[in-house]
Amino acid sequence: MKKAINLSVNGVSHSDEVEPRMLLVHYLRDVLGLTGSHVGCETSLCGACTVLLDGQAVKSCTVFAVQADGAAITTIEGLAHNGELHPVQEGFWEKHGLQCGYCTPGMIVAAAQLLDRNASPSREEICHGLEGNLCRCTGYQHIIEAVEYAAKKAGA
């Protein structure tokens, strides 16, 4: 039995009927075609699917689409404004915070939320804030530097 949902994704309103068991990540990817959020583990351990739900970073592979009814979602595709990169996106580019890029959208969204909460985090606070996101390529050091860059840039 499908259920109607109304939600805003990256500032655009959507109304759809979805199966109650449909995962938010599949709604975003398969229904809306926003394929930037990736599925890496289906168990909320890798963070590749991280999106903002009413400003909170969530693993969209373990949220049902129906749970997002009435919510405002921001995905990686919605972070840049008017063609201008979000400071975290810029930091990842400047500091080589990505290699294969698969974890990157979730990592960037998680880092964006981290900076929303703490504008000038220490290295330890960055590592703690990104604990829910796995990267297998970069060894994290450039990711940490990317977040430091973004913090500095946003604070400048």
Partner 1 sequence: MTNNYVGQRVKRTEDPRLIKGLAHYVDDITLPGTLHVSFVRSIYAHAKINGIETEAAQTVPGVVAVYTGQDIAGKIGPVPCASALPELKVPDHRALAQDKVYFVGHPIAAVVATDRYAARDAIDLIMVDYEELPVVTDVEQAAAGGPVIHEAFGSNIAYKMTSGEGDIDAAFAAADRTVKQRMLHRRLAPIAMEPRGVLARYFPGEEELTLWSSTQIPHLMRTQVALMIGIPENKLRVITPEVGGGFGSKLNVYGEEALISWISMQLGKPVKWIETRRENIQATIHGRGQVGDIEVAFKNDGTLLGLRYSVFADLGAYHQLLTPAIPTLTGLMLSGAYKIPAIQMNITGCFTNKMATDAYRGAGRPEATYVVERALDLVAAELKVDPTEVRRKNFPASNEFPFHTATGLDYDSGDYETALNKAQEIAGYAKLREEQKKARDEGRLVGIGVSTYVEICALGPSQAMPAGGWESATVRIEPTGKVTVLTGASPHGQGQETSFAQIVADELGVGINDVTVIHGDTGVVQYGIGTFGSRATAVGGTAVLVAVQKLKEKAHKIASHMLQSDATRVSFEGGKYALQKAAAAAVTGTSDPVVPVGEAPAGALPEPQTEGKTSLSIQDIALAAHLAKELPPDTEPGLSATYFFEPKNFTFPFGTHIAVVEVDRETGDIKFLRYVAVDDCGRVINPMLVDGQVHGGIVQSIGQALYEEVVYDEQGQLLTGTLMDYAVPRAKHIPQFELDRTETPSPVNPLGVKGVGEAGTIGATPAIVNAVVDALAPFGVKHLDMPIKPENVWRIINGH
Residues 60 to 79: which contact partner 1 by CB under 8 A?
75-77, 79
Residue reference for tokens 């530097």:
145
Number of residues that bind partner 1 (CB under 8 A): 59
Supply the DSSP symbol for 61. G
Q: What is the number of other CB atoms lying within 10 angstroms of the CB of residue 92?
A: 26
Q: Would you say the C-alpha torsion 28, 76, 15, 67 has a positive or negative sign?
A: positive
How far is residue 81 CA from its own chain's centroid?
15
As measured in angstroms, the least distance from the Cβ of 132 to partner 1 is 8
Interacting span for partner 1 (CB under 8 A) from 14-22, 64-72, 113-121, 148-156: 14-22
Query: Residue 41, interface with partner 1 (CB under 8 A)?
Result: yes
Q: Are 72 and 8 in contact (CB under 8 A)?
A: yes
Among 2, 4, 20, 123, which residue sits at the site for partner 1 (rule: CB under 8 A)?
Answer: 123
**Cβ-based nearer residue to partner 1, 32 or 72:** 32
Residue among 98, 18, 99, 66 at smallest CA distance from 111? 98
Residues that bind partner 1 (CB under 8 A): 19, 21-22, 26, 29-30, 33-43, 45-46, 48, 75-77, 79-80, 85, 89, 92-94, 96, 98-105, 108, 123-124, 126-128, 130-131, 133-144
